[in-house]
Structure 1
Amino acid sequence: MQEPDLSDLKAFVAVTRARGFRHAALTGGVSASSLSEAVRRLEQQLGVRLLNRTTRSVTPTEAGQRLFERLAPAFGEITIALDAVNLFRESPTGTLRLNVPSIAAREILPALLSRFLAAHPGITVDIGTNDTFIDILAAGFDAGIRYDERLERDMIAVPIGPRVQHFVAAASPSYLAARGTPQHPSELLNHACIGHRFDSGVLATWEFKRGDDVVRIEPNGPMIASVIELERGAAIAGLGIVYSFDEFLRPAIEQGALVPVLGEWCQTFTGPFLYYPSRTHMPAPLRAFVDFILAGDDSGNHS
């Protein structure tokens, strides 16, 4: 039997861990077709089916699971061995894979990463954007960014970005002139609200707080979207009231295209965290990024 190619074995591990060719391709920066061909070639060489493929899922066969259980730790040891060489470099090299929510991708990471990558030219940052909580290890990421209510207890969390954030409700001057300005969150039931749907399919509830009073509203209006630029544009066009991160809406508010409402009911919350698993060995690119954050180099984002 011809000895399998190491890259084919690596492709099999990636697909099995991600439970799909498309997800593994997105994580690894390769095409799904190349991964499929690599697994097909490996199965042909070994003479046994390793993966069960359906239109909805990819799962290992018993033989595939046995192979994965042996290969995954082995590839992990190879990564650790190669990464040890980074200790002898002035600046580490390698890829840092991050899974982040869209707010972090838009408002936190651009300025932060420009400074980090300037300090570490040998590192490549591979970013996956996802507004639902996923298992970062299973998906092949080194770390993620999330808010504290979504963090698992066995993860190490490091504050990143602004320490306090808040949501803002806003509408165009023309909309408020035609429909009036709500004075209490309950009045939103009589207004056109532009809803936001998460990647999971769940429609976001609008929550307002003033002192000990908390009011939750199920938005109802002419449009529901999952892209904030579309929601913001609809509000600017006068279609209704939008409710989102202040960072998303602030430029339009400062330009006068949107007017904030219900300011006394502004909901504030703790800013995001970089989180990663507790483990003895930390990849050099991740260690460099954590050290960069802890050193306060992203202090410009703390407020």
Structure 2
Amino acid sequence: DAPRFAFTVPSINCESPAKRYHWRVLPQGMKNSPVICQWYVASLLSPLRTALGDAVIIHHYIDNILVCASDHSLLAHALDLTTNALVAAGFELQQDKIQRMPPWKYLGLEITKQTIVPQKLAIRTKVRTLADVHQLCGSLNWVRPWLGIPTKDLAPLFNLLKGGEGLSSPRVLTPEAEVALEKVQKTILARQAHRYHPGLPFKFIILGKLPHLHGIIHQWDQVLKDQGLGDPLLIIEWVFLSHHRSKRMTRPQELVAELILKARSRIRELAGCDFSCIHIPIKLETFEELLQTNEYLQFALDSYTGRVAVDRPAHKLFN
């Protein structure tokens, strides 16, 4: 597409034909440069994905590429094919940037053999303007799915976003917001998500107290528990409701339905499947009645073939 983004340099007083140039690299500041880069790298990786099949996963965003496979020999083969394809297309790869051993760093995440955590997150505690609050809340919203920071803990920070002023309008952290930041920093140090187990089904459980319900997409490794080898709970992602709720009266079953819809949509994006079990905080007889009369739950569970449970697995996080 380089010729389409050519530019022309006219001669002085039209003394000679204008000279036409086109970019050999994507220019800095050109708004569609990332889109062109993403498209071009995708065109190189697409044949590899087809040739390698489902046994290999190749993720990429702009110039960040993650190659995954079930065994080392297949991974090495896929990595060689990927690097060869990029080099043949004219890309220069720095060997020291190719990460072959854990922890692998990809798009702000640090991936180990068992867990996934955000890379060191610098939380800006100096808030002076509304723009600073937007940046802070944006960073926290990004890490929430992996760290499980509850909405109620972030509410004092989200409340600083209220008001129709410009981004340069002054803001100051309230005492409640400072306490919220302390909780967030402790959570960042203590929690992580897990890499999924390919042989286990995905489950979803709804936790919390009204109106701050939330859920966890997870797997349960009963073998680990039976043999006393570790924690059977594998947290894939946390699911939260929006902090900004409608002004109308919202019933608890509507919140449950919204979480189920959000979680089912997310697991289709992540794994292309549905949950084997959904644990809900409703008594069985109440759930059966609601399922017949409440359209929100009916929509949320439409075409769901898994099991709905009203009990919780025995785990400290679920108590």
Q: TM-score, normalised by structure 1?
A: 0.22
Q: In proportion to residue count, which structure has more strand?
A: 1
Work out which of the two has the higher radius of gyration on C-alpha atoms and give 1 or 2. Answer: 2
**Larger RCO, structures 1/2 (Cα 8 Å, 6+ apart):** 1
Q: TM-score, normalised by structure 2?
A: 0.21
